[in-house]
Structure 1
Amino acid sequence: MLEVKNIPKIEECFESSINPYVKKVHEDTVNWAKINNLMNDSNIKRYERQKISYLAGRSQPYDSYDSVRLSSDYLLLFCILDDYSDNLNNQKLYDIYSKKIIEILNERAFYDDDTFLYAWHDWWKRLSIGMPDEWKKRIIQSIQNCFNSIKWEIKNEKEKYIPTLEEYVNHRMHSGSVFVCFDLIERGGRSFIPASSRSILLRNLINSINKIVNWTNDLLSFKKEFENDEIHNLVIILQKQENCSIETALDRAKEMLNIEINTFIELKNKVFISNEPFDSGMIKFISRLENGVRGHYEWSMKTKRF
């Protein structure tokens, strides 16, 4: 069986919860999309079925309505852009559009003649109020890195290039927008971890939990992506690089995920031991990232997106 229906180690190591505002957030994000004419009726119904807002609600189970709503609106914008990129074979077109979005986030441009770009402006205006400059720079860089990796994927698809495992891992950490979601999770907790407090251990931990989210996604979406002849999936990259059967590659990807979960647990213990003087904000931040892992897993199990 090529379909992965559940991942026991995720269920064992990460607790599940859901935000009580999620239904309201879902309704309001859909209405926001309608008001801003972000898509036609058929696309709106498709995104409604995917319940993208529930990814925000499950990843930020203890946050305010406003925080979850901002994450939900971002995820909708990202998914629209991601779907747009899937239908392109020219990275220059994506490059032009993504650059305009970064200009908006840096408050260097305003596009009121494009409903999608205007929605990015509206989202950023609400998101950035009262936020530290360092955090704003970090999330903009996270979004820029995401766009760059998606452009890399478009180029690969056009040239029929199969990336190496190392190349794929480096870009996959950004292309799924996981670091952006981590930034939004940090904002939701209103406990910001400045660069000066981000030790090598903590950065390694954040990278590890990023891989856990992405490998989980690749496993749960593998069947659909394999059937669609897509190349940017951990299982497919392993099968091509190691010249093995797809079943062997699937087992190898599951093994990589389990190893990464163990790596994260070891790193978390080391961060906790070295947390002197005691910083409760850092402990809460890590706990919130763990919520993000289980939230992504639960959403992925139920969404109609893949």
Structure 2
Amino acid sequence: MRPEEFNSKDYLPHGYYPWPDLISPHAEQMGKDMDGWIDNDYTFLTEEQREKYKRMKLHICTARMWPDLTYEQSIPCNRFMLQYVAFDDQVENSSLEEIQQLRDRCTAILKGDQPRPEENAIYQHMALIRDEFRALMPEIWVERFIYYFYQSVRYGIELEYPYKIAQRPPSLTLFKTIREYSVLMRPYLIFGEIESGLVLPEHIFEHIVVQKIISHMTLVIAWQNDIHSLPKEMAKGTEVFNLVFVLQQQYNLSLEDACKEAFRIHNEEMAELLTLHTEYREFGEYQEHVDKFFYYAGVGIQGVNTFYLQTERYLHGGVGFAWPEEGRTANIQANGG
């Protein structure tokens, strides 16, 4: 199989997962909101980058992953979708020290620091996200969100860094461990608690079965992302943090065989997730909370898959991606430049 023959929908078509495929009734307004933020606030990006982010229609990802949010609830979730995607994309050429500084500054803002006037939209919107979530959710949930944000950057983006610099993948075992965090989905998965209105108490959230369910869900989305983003990453030529590339490297597989194996791993992850939820039913009065958490996260898995099939973000050749520009990495660190 030649790279240009690869089509992710041959593996993960519409409706692949056992949850409904839905979209928010507020999607149109969410799109208008996001385009306004890109045009008016994300001025540290080039005009070409801003246009590409608008064409990606990231608000549709929000609308499909969490279709039952009220419009008020959708605002910080949609704002975070743009903020976190731009964060991840634009640190691609940054040094490890710059990424660490960005992580620490964003975490400090989430915990209460105010962004300085000269700091760009990455920081200004993080403060808005914090205030909007605090107005909607209890403190236990906000602390959970902050921790998952920190964790994903600290143990995801940062642990990827030496392998990206060396342009060599880690072993499959280590890759799976890091990829669970570098897919950056942990903060998003708990948005289902906003939809359901059922926030898991800490002793349930920290239960080993719930944590394992979250781990499986995160990895399902990681393998899903690696399959859908493959056309963009093949175009880059230097990407190593994709399951398909790791399998090719470790087992000397052809592209076609590596894709088949990646799909098998995805399906195995999915089967383990469903089995775990079905078999363990010992949460007593909190079983409904866990079931709702599982359902809304599942709708998110279905929804993000549909988004991947519709967005321009992962087009062949990387033409739809807002690649960071050489020499502009400092722009994400400070002003709106």
Q: What TM-score results when the alignment is normalised by the length of structure 2?
A: 0.84
Matches within 5 A, 1:126-145: 126-145=132-151
Give the partner amino acid of 1:64. Answer: T
Shift of 1:219: 0.7
Q: Is the 8 A contact 1:105 1:124 kept in 2?
A: yes
Deviation at 1:42, TM superposition (A): 2.9
Is 2:244 the partner of 1:235? yes
1:158 has 2:162 as partner: no
Distance 2:114 2:32 in 1: 30
Cα distance in 1, alignment partners of residues 261 and 134 from structure 2: 41
| Alignment partners' CA distance in 2, 1:57 and 1:76 | 13
Displacement, 1:278? 5.7
Which residue number corresponds to residue 288 of structure 1?
A: 296
RMSD: 1.9
Letter in 1 for 2:245: I
1:181 aligned onto 2:188: yes
Aligned to 1:19: 24
Judge conservation of contact 2:69–2:194 (CA < 8 Å) in 1: no
Structure 1 residues 3 and 137, CA gap change in structure 2 (3 angstroms): same
The answer to whether structure 1 residue 31 and structure 2 residue 40 are counterparts is no
Give the residue type in structure 2 aligned to 1:93.
E
Classify the secondary structure of the residue corresponding to 1:299: helix
Distance 2:56 2:136 in 1: 32
- Structure 1: 4+ residue segments shifted above 4 A: none
Residues 243 and 50 from structure 1, CA distance in 2 versus in 1: closer, same or farther, beyond 3 angstroms? same
How far, CA to CA, are the matches of 1:60 and 1:288 in structure 2?
7
Which structure 1 segments of 5+ residues have no match? none
Question: Structure 1 pair 172/259, CA: closer, same or farther in 2 (3 Å)?
Answer: same
Instruction: Quote the offset at 1:34 in angstroms.
Output: 2.8
Return the letter of the residue paired with 1:244.
Answer: L
| Identity of matched residues, % | 20
Write the distance in 2 (CA, Å) between the matches of 1:278 and 1:123.
28
Asked if 1:4 corresponds to 2:8, the answer is yes
More helix by share: 1
CA, structure 1 residues 262+37, in 2 after alignment: closer, same or farther (shift >3 Å)? closer
Matched, 1:214 2:219: no
- With CA pairs under 8 Å and 6+ residues apart, which has the higher RCO, 1 or 2? 2
Residue in 2 that maps onto 1:64: 70
Instruction: Find out whether 1:95 has 2:100 as its counterpart.
Output: yes
The Cα offsets for residues 41-76 of structure 1, whole Å up to 9 and x where unpaired, read as 432221111010100100011111122222111011
Partner of 2:308: 300
Counterparts of 1:78 and 1:86, CA distance in 2: 13
Once residues 153 and 24 of structure 1 are traced to their aligned partners in structure 2, the CA distance between those partners, rounded to angstroms, is 36
- Give how far 1:87 is off: 2.7
Aligned residues: 304
Is 1:256 aligned with 2:260? no
Shift of 1:240: 0.9
Structure 2 residue runs without a partner (length 5+): 315-337
Structure 2 CA distance for partners of 1:10 and 1:260, relative to 1, 3 Å: farther
Deviations 1:179-230 (A, max 9, x none): 1101223223321012211322222112111111111111111122123221
- Structure 1 residue 18: Cα displacement: 0.6
Deviation for aligned residue 1:11: 1.5
Cα distance in 2, alignment partners of residues 74 and 152 from structure 1? 22
